[in-house]
Structure 1
Amino acid sequence: MSQFPNRAALWLNKLAPDAPLMSGLCPSVQVADGQINGENVRFIAVVPDANNHYPRAAGGEVGLLEGWTLAKVVNETIAADADQPVKRPIVAVIDVPSQAYGRREEAFGIHQALAGAAGAYAKARLAGHPVIGLIVGKAMSGAFLAHGYQANRLIAFNDSGVLVHAMGKASAARITLRTVEALEKLAATIPPMAYDVSNYATLGLLSALLDINNPDAPDDHDLSLVSNTLRDAIAGCAHRCLTEVPPGRGKPPQLATGSRSHARQLVRRSYVSSRRKPAGSRPPERVITAPGRDGF
């Protein structure tokens, strides 16, 4: 793996061998067009760049440049396929340690950059593009939200190097006023607090968990397994149609009329109960007398 800066770069290269990287992008975002089962597929990865203009994003974090570049690539893919009856699948190859933390990032609007990337992926999904997130390494914090979490399907490697969480261990330990060791013990009993992918899989968000022989040096069996799983995930995306423009996939399921009514009643009941004050807590009622009776 030494010739690749992270697992995302490695797997992008393995899944789209000999494909040229898209030019005109920041070095930390790599895009290549390959094929899965004879179908054109666009692969996108965020990789480390030691010479990144923003040092906080040099280690593969998703920062300002990465967020806007991801949005640019995905939106251009949507525009290019706008008149095509079948939209090109997009595979986000994910190995991102975090979003980029820094004063410059905050000042220049990293929240907008990451929202732009997430919004572009969501737009692609709703436009009919099968969007697949392939988690080959870390999928952490806002970086995962911006790059991959909007996918129709999430596929992960069952490997100790795969971590999924909203916050790094050191940060989570500070926030929860625990040591890292205490946090790890707590995470072992609460799946949403855990970092390992096996616990994450119990939450029901993965469509596949793959046993890879060596994620850092995949053999032919590994490549075949991943390619076939991607093929099945693409085919399984709802509303794929070879003759007409897909109406969109990944939209929230529509509730039946009775279910919507019941949901509204529950929300209304919760609101009313939250507004109701305990007996005896109401202030005494004001007594309003007629004008002139008490000197007013």
Structure 2
Amino acid sequence: MEELDNTMIGRGRDAIDMIIDKDSFQENIIDGYSFDPDYGPGSVVGTAKLNGKPTTIIANDAMAFNDRFPVVFGGVIGLEEGYKMATAVYRTMEADKDKPLPEKRAIVLIVDTPGNGPGKMEEIAGMNKSTGGYQLALAEARKAGHPIVAMVIGRAISGAFLCHGLQADHILALSKDFGTMIHVMPLTSIARITKMDIERLEELSTSNPVFAAGVDFFYKLGGVQEIVNQVEDMREVIIRHIDEVAKLKAEGKGELLGPWGRGILGNERGGRTHRMEAIAKVNAEFTAVADKYINA
């Protein structure tokens, strides 16, 4: 077990037990709705109590293997997994649709994914619709008032992080000491796309967080709200951020949450200093020509 003490990669189910109230997790159950346990085995969904309150849990199971889609293993989010996760979100919204804002249950995302399933069958069957549907579900739940907190315990990479994490109100991450990895794509892939030399990209990655990977760089960008330095602190930090998010939503300050809030935070931390200037220029250019297109 000593080797597991230094990382949480592949331990999504362990993370659930560390975070929730003891023995409170009901897997594949959300407000009376039951999920087929054989469908989307790479995803773990269900209801738990967190600090005494009902909470929806959505996680990766990096130890699972999907026999129907062999590319889905090691935490990969595939076609079935995306739909299962999206359904969990919509079932949560349905369960609380008539409840006042303070009673909207939180959604906790436990993130440990190396990416999406890139198989030919997944692409033909519409994996992009599956993962896009999950991303949309989280955005709708966030705007409907559900506090959404993502906890990165291992890998948060590529398009899988787009759907399973980046739509959260707040994103937390274990420190790099646990082997936690966050990046959009490796520098080798960026080099092929941009036609820039890998040496130049490596140089840029030492000072420019846009090209760099890792928890610390994403913190500077505002992509990570808080870095958690001890596994034992995950539960306490998640509960605190759920309360912070709920308070901001109750005060009508939704612009400080989610993707927009991360942009503001990145500007404050010096990681995205040109963002607001670029937005202002785009808005000015749009305003200058809007009359030619709107109601034309």
- Whether the TM-score (by the shorter chain) exceeds 0.5 is yes
Q: Which of 152, 173, 182 lines up with 1:135 in the alignment?
A: 152
The percent of aligned pairs where both chains have the same amino acid is 30
Residue 97 of structure 2 is matched in structure 1 by 82
Contact between 2:42 and 2:60, CA under 8 Å: does it hold in 1? yes
1:193 aligns with 2:211: yes
Equivalent pair of 1:12/1:32 in contact (CA under 8 Å): no
- Confirm or deny that 1:6 pairs with 2:19: no
Structure 1: state its 5+ residue gaps. Answer: 213-217, 254-259, 272-296
Structure 2 gap segments, 5+ residues each: 29-34, 262-278, 291-296
User: The residue matched to 2:98 in structure 1 has which SS?
Assistant: coil
Greater Cα radius of gyration, structure 1 or 2:
1
CA distance in 1, matches of 2:160, 2:240: 26
Cα deviation, 1:192-223, whole Å, max 9, x if unaligned, reads: 111111111111222211112xxxxx4xxx1x
Question: Which has the larger displacement, 75-84 or 17-26?
Answer: 17-26
- 1:224-283 deviations in Å (ceiling 9; x for gaps): x22221121111112238xxxx99785869xxxxxx999754435599xxxxxxxxxxxx
Distance 2:149 2:81 in 1: 19
Aligned residue pair count: 250
* 1:229 aligned residue: 237
1:147 to 164, 189, 199: 164
Instruction: Choose which of 10, 13, 21 in structure 1 pairs with 2:27.
Output: 21
CA distance in 2, matches of 1:60, 1:67: 12
1-side partners of 2:284 and 2:205: how far apart? Answer: 36
- What is the CA-CA distance between 1:113 and the residue it aligns to? 0.6
How far did 1:112 drift?
0.6
1:175 to 179, 183, 193: 193
Q: Which has the higher helix share?
A: 2
1:267 lines up with 2:286 in the alignment: yes
Distance 2:15 2:240 in 1: 18
Counterpart for residue 162 of structure 1: 180
TM-score normalised over the length of structure 1: 0.74
The answer to whether the 8 Å contact 2:215/2:224 transfers is no
Give the C-alpha shift of residue 62 in structure 1.
1.2
SS in 2 for 1:57: coil
Q: Please tell me the root mean square deviation across aligned C-alpha atoms, in Å.
A: 3.1
Residue equivalent to 1:68: 83
Indicate whether 1:106 and 2:116 are aligned.
no
Would the aligned equivalents of 1:31 and 1:43 in 2 still touch at CA under 8 Å?
yes
Which amino acid in the other structure matches residue 207 of structure 1? Answer: Q
Answer yes or no: is the 8 Å Cα contact 1:127–1:247 preserved in 2: no
